[in-house]
């Protein structure tokens, strides 16, 4: 599911699960974190992308349905937090190469990345509320990135926004035709890799220190617990998984 390829100064980490629009189960999230840690040891930049027409649809929703006990909840929150908050704190810069839809946790990965380049076809959404969940990392971070009202539009309507709007909102740095995505990301890689690593590392730490607040994982766990205890939310998850919805 997670492919790793070193290209010069960058590790390209590709999510390869096209039949699920590159949604991740727990093992996939854990493998993604392992790939990021490997990149931090071996390269100067990490690039995250997806296969075919999706960056990532985020969580495999079966993960949420299976969250029944406190231990299940702790495991889910721990794994997701380890990746999303971990991107912020990785020793090297992380670039999101957004080749298609970035929904839920996929959108959150884009927000967590230091830089992001999207294709003109890319779309971004936080549909969690419509399927009986909530966007944990986004609730802590995306309002900081795009502003409160824009975040609330994403989180409360579940409607996707296109790449140009994501650019206007500050969620991505560039929007390019699909055929130019890799080359544009490589330009960022070349520019970033040419910088002394210590300065970039200190810059990342300074930004992370500014936005991180105490009790984040506890708030995430509490939010998940409230949503999963709600009958209406559980019914929405069931409809999504066992009906015939569009992702």
Instruction: Tell me the catalytic residues.
Output: 108, 128
The DSSP 8-state label assigned to residue 24 in this structure reads B
C-alpha dist (Å) from residue 113 to 27, 84, 110, 177, 184: 21, 9, 5, 20, 16
Most distant CA atoms of the chain, gap in Å: 53
CA 172/CA 114 separation, integer angstroms: 10
User: Do residues 94 and 114 touch, judged by C-beta distance below 8 A?
Assistant: yes
Q: Where are the beta strands (DSSP E) in 30-114?
A: 45-50, 54-56, 94-98, 101-103
């Amino acid at each position: 599911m997670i492919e790793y390829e070193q290209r010069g100064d960058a590790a390209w980490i590709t999510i390869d699960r096209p039949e699920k629009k590159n949604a991740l189960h727990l093992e996939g999230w854990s493998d993604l974190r392992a790939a990021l840690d490997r990149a931090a040891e071996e390269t100067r930049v990490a690039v995250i992308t997806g296969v075919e027409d999706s960056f990532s649809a985020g969580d495999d929703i079966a993960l949420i349905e299976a969250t029944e006990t406190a231990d299940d909840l702790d495991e889910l929150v721990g794994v997701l937090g380890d990746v999303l908050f971990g991107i912020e704190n990785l020793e090297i810069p992380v670039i999101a190469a957004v080749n298609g839809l970035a929904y839920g946790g996929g959108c959150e990965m884009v927000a967590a990345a230091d830089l992001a380049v999207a294709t003109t076809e890319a779309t971004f959404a936080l549909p969690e509320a419509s399927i009986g969940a909530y966007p944990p990392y986004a609730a802590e971070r995306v309002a900081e990135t795009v502003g409160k009202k824009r975040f609330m539009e994403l989180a409360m309507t579940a409607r996707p926004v296109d790449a140009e709007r994501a650019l206007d909102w500050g969620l991505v740095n560039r929007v390019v035709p699909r055929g130019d995505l890799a080359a544009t990301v490589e330009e960022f890689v070349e520019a970033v890799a040419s910088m002394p690593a210590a300065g970039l590392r200190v810059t990342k730490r300074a930004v992370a220190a500014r936005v991180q607040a105490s009790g984040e994982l506890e708030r995430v766990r509490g939010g998940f617990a409230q949503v999963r205890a709600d009958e209406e939310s559980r019914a929405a998850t069931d409809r999504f998984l066992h009906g015939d919805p569009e992702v």
